[in-house]
Amino acid sequence: MNAGILGIAKYVPETVVTNVDLEKRMDTSDEWIRTRTGIEQRRIAEKSIDTSDMAYFAAKQAIENANLTAEDIDMILVATVTPDQPFPSVACMLQDKLGAKKVAAMDISAACAGFMYGMVTAKQFIETGTYKHVLVVGVEKLSKITDWNDRNTAVLFGDGAGAAVLGPVSGDRGILSFELGSDGSGGKHLYQTEEDVIFMNGREVFKFAVRQMGESSVNVIEKAGLKKEDVDFLVPHQANIRIMESARERLNLPIEKMSKTVHKYGNTSAASIPISIVEELEEGKINDDDVIVMVGFGGGLTWGAIALRWGR
Ligand code: UT7
């Protein structure tokens, strides 16, 4: 029996900040941002909406989409590097907001690979029969830790949340294989500073990402006993269109088989993969029994990939 996705949903804040808006605030241009990253706009949460609020909006909808209630959730995992506060965890706040049972709840810190770490953790509990329904949320309010005076990073990020309920699925559907990894020696390339803002050595992270996205994608396909031709859809972490394109080319996939939401939301870290899945489902691009490969990388350094056959 495999663990799979029973219901999934997203939440993005209403406020849209375009590249042209950023031109007015810093020395940058719409042209530079578009050509170097593929980003056209991003969503920024209001002051009154914190990470746990966005997590709640997405989670509530995901539970509904799974035809379940909060009472049915046996564990809550929240992947985030921008919690409301260091503790209590966003997962505990979410347990309360949802009115869920007093179940196990914890945050996972794996930056942009966090949703992959969350899904794989959920899979272990489900496939051993320990828990039936695990809520996994990827959520970030990166605007809280953005240095708005640093054009190298400020143009890249956005706020948002994606949530999925994982549980047992039928036949050969669900998670087929996964890979998780880390390399702490690269932590110096992407971190939160003492001043509580993001520092990034873009070029180093770029090189790592191009290498790792391709490699991990190929590895999960092989581990699942599949071939590149069997992949119906690639859902890469949405950091930079050029990094995403390199992964797509490595899998020899046509452009229409890769999810692209980076132009609308920027880099939403742990939220980018679930947000993208929701958008592709809405567009009818992911269907039952499609093989999808999800792959993420981020600060840590961390990475994670999953091959999954869609459907309940
Ligand atoms: O979720 C994981 C997190 N991070 C990532 O995935 C990011 C990975 N890295 C990247 O996506 C790219 O490295 C960036 C988009 C961050 C930068 O693109 P790049 O092609 O690697 O540019 P660069 O860092 O080599 O900078 C080129 C130039 C520099 O000017 P000089 O030194 O050549 O005169 C920068 O100062 O572009 C300049 N620049 C900007 N110009 C206008 C940097 N940011 C901006 C900006 N607007 N916002």
Q: What is the CATH number of the domain that holds 236?
A: 3.40.47.10
pLDDT at site 84: 98
Residue-range definition of the domain harbouring residue 62: 2-169
| Dihedral angle over CA of 20, 25, 28, 30, nearest 10 | -10
Examine the domain organization and report whether 156 and 195 are in the same domain.
Answer: no
- If one residue of 155, 192, 206 were mutated to test the ligand 1 pocket, choosing by the most ligand atoms within 8 A of its CB, it would be 206
Q: Among the three residues 169, 197, 221, which one is the final residue of a domain in this structure?
A: 169
Tell how far the Cα of 160 is from the centroid of ligand 1, in angstroms: 23
Examine the domain organization and report whether 160 and 47 are in the same domain.
Answer: yes
Examine the domain organization and report whether 284 and 263 are in the same domain.
Answer: yes
- If one residue of 116, 148, 152, 192 were mutated to test the ligand 1 pocket, choosing by the most ligand atoms within 8 A of its CB, it would be 152
Band of pLDDT at residue 278, cut at 50, 70 and 90: very high
Q: Is 142 exposed, middle or buried (0-12, 13-18, 19+ CB in 10 A)?
A: buried
Residue nearest to atom 29 of ligand 1 (CA): 152
Examine the domain organization and report whether 143 and 49 are in the same domain.
Answer: yes
Q: Among the three residues 169, 193, 219, which one is the final residue of a domain in this structure?
A: 169
Report the pLDDT averaged over residues 272-284. 97
**CA nearest neighbour of 213 among 181, 188, 167, 185:** 181
Per-residue pLDDT tens over the stretch 56-84? 999 999 999 999 999 999 999 999 999 99
Report the pLDDT averaged over residues 16-30. 97
**CA nearest neighbour of 68 among 133, 4, 20:** 133
The total of structural domains in the chain comes to 2
pLDDT at site 112: 98
Q: Which residues contact 78 (CB under 8 A, 6 or more apart)?
A: 55, 89, 90, 91, 94, 105, 106, 107, 108, 118, 137, 139
Examine the domain organization and report whether 206 and 303 are in the same domain.
Answer: yes
Examine the domain organization and report whether 301 and 189 are in the same domain.
Answer: yes
Examine the domain organization and report whether 216 and 298 are in the same domain.
Answer: yes
92 is known as an active-site residue: no
Examine the domain organization and report whether 213 and 298 are in the same domain.
Answer: yes
Catalytic residue among 65, 112, 133, 189: 112
Band of pLDDT at residue 163, cut at 50, 70 and 90: very high
Per-residue pLDDT tens over the stretch 99-156? 999 999 999 999 999 999 999 999 999 999 999 999 999 999 999 999 999 999 999 9
Tell whether ligand 1 has an atom less than 6 A from the beta carbon of residue 55: no
Residue nearest to atom 16 of ligand 1 (CA): 202
Examine the domain organization and report whether 165 and 244 are in the same domain.
Answer: no
Q: Among the three residues 169, 194, 216, which one is the final residue of a domain in this structure?
A: 169
Instruction: Supply angle C-alpha 175, 181, 184, rounded to 5.
Output: 155
**Average pLDDT value for the chain:** 97
